[in-house]
Structure 1
Amino acid sequence: MVNYRYLGNSGFKVSEITYGNWVTHASQVDDSAAIATVHKALDLGITTFDTADTYANTAAEVVLGKALDGQPRESLEIFTKVYWPIGRKGPNDVGLSRKHIFDGIHGSLKRLNVDYVDLYQAHRYDYETPIEETMQAFADIVRQGKALYIGVSEWTAEQLREGHALAKELGVQLVSNQPQYSALWRVIEGTVVPTSQALGISQIVWSPMAQGVLSGKYLPGQPVPAGSRATDDKSGANFIKRFMEDDVLTAVQKLTPIAAEAGLSMPQLAIAWVLQNPNVAAALVGASRPEQLEDNVKASGVVLDADTMAAIDAALSPVAVTDPQETYKVSPAARPA
């Protein structure tokens, strides 16, 4: 079964393996397969589910709502997000204005078929809206009982400090940040993680397997496997390109004996690695088939010893991205049209 961790400096616990439906529901797999995979997650002890209104232009929330229908609400932790253009994608259907945030939460609750979400997250930082307006809107949603906690995604250390100070002033809890993080993408370690630790903010990390590259299935100098994420634009092909260079793929193959020595599969090693970071509350995993989750959840509770961690660093340090400046490149300078 899956272990639990506290989210930020709160009394709220989440499953350290959290199910995310970014590129699967209403996109990569049909509804029946998506629902079967969610039910498998529940059977395996995953009770925390992360989605966003932008996934499949709101359709992913609908599928998750159907999949969780009939489950005791108090036994689930449901997260969603707001920022990216949705619906008809008009001038107010994007960003973190008060209007879009309120339209966003009402739409998400309806699609998920719930009265509240446990965590409502700013999917990026909005440079076109005063942060005071954004945080006031989030605080009002919490006071109305439509969300219990506030989170963000891919915010810089400075943005986290400012957002946390405003949330505290408004009497609500900013408990989490959701960045990309893996043994190949370590840009949050320089400033985001130390700042978050000081503020009592946890990381809910996405792509712990570097879009599947850390599974070891992509081989240097070889064609990518048919049907894999690298071949499907709907499944994050653009995100995986940065990891598809031969030097990266060669380095990843060095993890094979390390995983074997630890008694883990390559995906389990990758997920366990991010969970060794004490600031990480949860690793987001997606799945297109139930059996993928059966392998992934076995990373929960794994403790990698110092020699294993050192061996992973030695294999990947020449190709891992660690520059903290990368955290400033994620949120668009202007709202996307």
Structure 2
Amino acid sequence: MEYRRLGRTGLKVSTLSFGAWVSFGYQLGVPEAKKLIAAAYERGVNFFDNAETYANGQAEEIMGQALRELGYKREEYVISTKVFFGTGSTAPNTTGLSRKHIIEGTRASLKRLGLEYVDLLFCHRPDPETPIEETVRAMNWCIDQGYAFYWGTSEWSAEQIEEAWRIAERLDLIGPAMEQPQYNIFHRKRVEEEYAPLYAKHGLGLTTWSPLASGVLTGGHFSVKCKYSGGLIPEGTRMTLERYKFLQEKKLVEKAHQLQIVDNLLPVAEELGCSMAQLSLAWCARNPNVSTVITGATKVSQIEDNMAALAVLPKLTDDVVAKIDKIVGGTE
């Protein structure tokens, strides 16, 4: 495993990490989670991502219990969680980025995880109803109380991140050290263009999500079609889950053209001797501004396949990347 600094911080995270979104709670319980976390950890993964909203808090409970039962030393792994969406309550102060919800939401997350602190605490989305100054002060308070070591954002615009930094510098507080954006072969403009000034100016680190575009960027190893080619939905995939059926419309109807693009990319993966998933993960990790690529899995075999993407990184020459770009064409 390769380890990278999280932006300009001194924290080192594994280039490939493991997240609990979708799988923990809705698909997997503690026994399965233990097997997956152990498989990732044994292959050098040290960063595990979560959020208060994943399975309405159940994902945090499952991850916390799994880690306790596995008995790993706390200093050997990095845990993140995110606040904003809450855990399903409709009460007016149980979502958003008010000082009240940030502090109460973080405390609740720590209780579910069974931890004294998380390493990374994210604002899961921007909150147009809360002044950014209130959010910056609240996140710094959480750090001062020892609830988290670093704070960051997820899916904030460059302008919003810049404003948070201006406020932090004016108040002599800590600015957001990291951002968690979507990043994959199809979705790249925010990471590669919008955030570009932030890397050198603020040392922004990235913990990117959806490297496989919700499973669209899969296939290979002698498969001639992507997993969802032709709009077919294999049993047991996230798109069959009631809560995530919206992905069917988004990925298989609105963006159906991407399925053909993946089929056209498969020969590139075959030439490199890897799966489409491995090619896609290595493509994300190739970006020097990416600190870690968050992967997901419901089977140990998927963990094994994902981790093998590291061996593909040296094969992604400029010529190969140019070939990928030509096949993909326009991106978001």
CA distance in 2, matches of 1:86, 1:224: 28
TM-superposed deviation, 1:90:
1.0
Q: Distance in 1 between matches of 2:290 and 2:121?
A: 18
In the other structure, the counterpart of 1:30 is: 29
Other-structure match for 1:305: 317
Closer/same/farther in 2, CA of residues 240 and 272 from structure 1, 3 Å limit: farther
**Structure 2 matches for 1:257-268, cutoff 5 A?**
257-268=267-278
What residue identity is the alignment partner of 2:45? I
Check whether the contact 1:139–1:170 (CA below 8 A) recurs between aligned residues.
no
1:243 aligns with 2:246: no
Superposition map of 1:127-166 within 5 A: 127-166=128-167
Report if the CA contact (8 A) 1:83-1:123 is conserved. Answer: yes
Matched, 1:121 2:133: no
Q: CA 1:297–1:109 in 2, change beyond 3 Å: closer, same or farther?
A: same
Question: Does residue 20 of structure 1 match 2:32?
Answer: no
- Aligned-partner Cα distance in 2 for 1:253–1:56: 32
Alpha-carbon distance in structure 1 between the residues aligned to 2:212 and 2:296: 10
1:41-89 per-residue CA deviation (whole Å, 9 max, x = no partner) reads 1111111000001111111100000111121000010000000032533
The equivalent of 1:198 in structure 2 is 201
1:278 and 2:288 matched: yes
Q: Is the 8 A contact 2:122 2:153 kept in 1?
A: yes
Find the residue that maps to 2:24 and give its secondary structure: coil
Q: Are the equivalent residues in 1 in contact too, given 2:30–2:63 (CA < 8 A)?
A: no
Amino acid at match of 1:296: N
Identity %: 40
Structure 1 unaligned regions, length at least 5 = 322-337
What is aligned with 1:170?
172
Flag the 1:219–1:153 CA change in 2: closer, same or farther, 3 A: closer
TM-fit CA distance, 1:223: 2.5
Q: Say if 2:216 and 2:227, in contact at 8 Å, map to a contact too.
A: yes
Following the alignment from structure 2 to structure 1, what is the Cα–Cα distance between the partners of residues 38 and 45? 9
Q: Name the SS for the 2:64 alignment partner.
A: helix
Instruction: Provide the secondary structure at the position in 2 that maps to 1:25.
Output: helix
| Inter-partner Cα distance in structure 1 for 2:197 and 2:299 | 36
Please report the RMSD computed on the Cα atoms of aligned residues, expressed in angstroms.
1.6
Distance, in Å, in 1 between the alignment partners of 2:11 and 2:175 is: 11
TM-score normalised to the size of structure 1?
0.90
Equivalent AA in structure 2 for residue 36 of structure 1: K
User: For residues 150-206 of structure 1, what are the alpha-carbon distances to aligned partners after superposition, in whole Å with 9 as ceiling and x for unaligned?
Assistant: 111000010010112223443324211111110011131221233344321012111
Judged with a 3 Å threshold, the aligned counterparts in structure 2 of structure 1 residues 240 and 210 are, in CA distance, closer, same or farther, namely farther
Query: Which AA in structure 1 matches 2:246?
Result: N
Q: Is the 8 A contact 1:218 1:225 kept in 2?
A: yes
Decide whether aligned partners of structure 1 residues 49 and 28 sit closer, same or farther in structure 2, where only a CA change above 3 A counts.
same
Displacement of 1:239:
3.6
- Aligned twin of 2:8: 9
- Post-superposition offset of 1:246: 4.0
The one-letter code matched in structure 2 to 1:204 is T
Task: Choose from 205, 226, 239 the match for 1:230.
Answer: 239
Structure 2: any 5+ residue segments left out of the alignment? 220-225
Query: CA, structure 1 residues 185+6, in 2 after alignment: closer, same or farther (shift >3 Å)?
Result: same
Inter-partner Cα distance in structure 1 for 2:27 and 2:15:
24
Q: Which residue of 2 aligns with 1:111?
A: 112
Residues 265, 327 of structure 2: 8 Å contact kept: yes
Residue 46 of structure 1 corresponds to which residue in structure 2?
45
Q: Distance in 2 between matches of 1:155 and 1:68?
A: 30
Residues 73, 240 of structure 1: CA spacing in aligned structure 2 closer, same or farther, 3 A cutoff? farther
Q: How many residues end up aligned between the 2 structures?
A: 318
Give the direction of change, closer, same or farther, for the CA distance of 1:255–1:167 in structure 2 (3 Å limit): same
**Distance of aligned partners of 1:237 and 1:316 in 2 relative to their CA distance in 1, 3 Å threshold:** farther
Distance 1:312 1:197 in 2: 27
